[in-house]
Each structure stands twice: as C-alpha cells, then as structure tokens.
Amino acid sequence: LLSLLAIFWIQPAIAVRGLDFWLPAAALGLVLVTWAVSRPSPGKFSGSDATALAAALHDDVLNQMAVISNSLPADNAASQQAYATAVAHIRDIINGLRPTMLNYGLHAALQTLADDLNDRLPDDAQGEGGPRITLSIPPSTVRYARDVELSLFRIAQQACSNAIQHASCRKIEISGSLNADEARLLVEDDGRGFENGEGLDLTRLLAGRHFGLVGMAERATLIGAELNIQSTPGQGTKVTVVWLKK
C-alpha cells in the first residue's frame, strides 16, 4: 500500500513540476517504499511495531510532506489536490496502524469507534438502515500496555465489523468493564448467528472462512487474554474477551 501511494503520488508530481520536483518527491517515495519492504510480515507485525511505524509516519513522513508542499505551485489545483489526497491517505494509514483515540485510553477509543460506526451506517425513520451501536462500559481512565490496548480495541472493532457485515442485526452492544487489574469486553448482536460448535476451533473457523474470528483469537493469544465466542443460529452472537494483569 505504501509503495503504491509513493508511485501514484510521485507520478503526477513529476508531470506538474518537472525534474526540479523529482528529487524531493523521489526521496519521499524511497522512504515509503523502504518502510513497505522492510516491515515485518503480517504474522509478526506486533502492536509495538504498528505503534513505531505510525509514529515514524507521523513525525517523519508528514513533516517531509509539509516541506515538499512549499515547492507546489499555489495556482495549480491538480498538484494541490494530489498533495491533499496523499496526506489524507497517510493519515488513514497511521490511524489504521494505531487509532489516534487510543492515546486517550481504551474507553475513549471504544466510544469513538461506536460513534464513527453510527455516523457511517445509514439510518432512517423506518429503521431500515444499519444497526445501532451502543457502548455500555462505565467511564474509565485506566491505561494498559500499548499492545494490550491495541489488541482489545481491534478485537472489539472486528466483532462489530463481523456483526455489521454478516449478522443482519439491528443492535450491537459493547459492554464490560475496564479496571486496573483486568479488562472485560463483550460485543453482542441480535443477528442471525451461526453454528459455533464446541469450543473455539481455529481449524474449523478457517475452513468456514471465518477469518475475522481467527484474527480475534490470534490477537487475544498475543496478549494472554481469553476469548470466547458464543453463537446460535437465529439467536445472535456474543464475543467475550477477558484480559487479566499478570
């Protein structure tokens, strides 16, 4: 993704500015491509890796972008639009690596998740839009290790995404508690559910193409949390994750 961003941004920049713009643009592209080819494989990409990359993109690449913007002609709408689009893409990548609201704690990030999903999902007076997401976790300023916060957030985010895409549900509730020595999250929907069988069998989930559920299980394992998924056809799905401070 970073490589493609570099290519698509540099090409119009050269066309607009000529060779006098090529060197700084190519330097930025090289930075992006270097990150793209040197980052760990997805299976080894930890929360700390994501945080470090997000910080580097924010502190280094966006700063270099700001410097390069001074070379853009103010009267050329195409170059200004290309620059704005590139910056927006980089900010989306940063937010994807580590959501900005996690800087203020897990509760704040989960509230933002619920608000953002409600804003994006259609809704109308007849109730024919997407499901409504509610957060029922008591306010908490407790902070956990970065990897723990990121993994718990991603599990809740994936559970909501699964429900929105596959459950045909009307309601999604994120509940639980965030205490100093433990974190408990429950994401529950009133959708169609599915045949879950006995226990959390990753092989069976993979065979059933439940890749989102497998990803949640892997994230829980990385932080030593316990993940439980309960689902019955016609009775919705409950995703519970419990993390205990060691």
Phi–psi pair at 207, nearest 5 degrees? -60, -30
Per-residue pLDDT of the chain (246 residues; tens, 9 = 90+): 444 444 444 444 444 444 344 444 544 554 555 445 444 444 444 555 555 565 556 556 666 666 666 667 777 777 777 777 777 666 666 666 667 889 899 999 999 999 989 988 876 444 556 799 999 999 999 999 989 999 999 999 999 988 998 889 999 999 999 999 999 999 999 999 887 665 566 666 656 666 777 888 889 999 999 999 998 899 999 999 999 998
Cα angle vertex 107, ends 104, 110, to 5°?
Answer: 105
**Unique residue bearing structure tokens 């930075």:** 31
If one counts every other C-beta atom within 10 angstroms of the C-beta of residue 98, the result is 23
Q: What whole-number distance in Å separates Cα of residue 71 and Cα of residue 10?
A: 13
d(CA 6, CA 31): 9
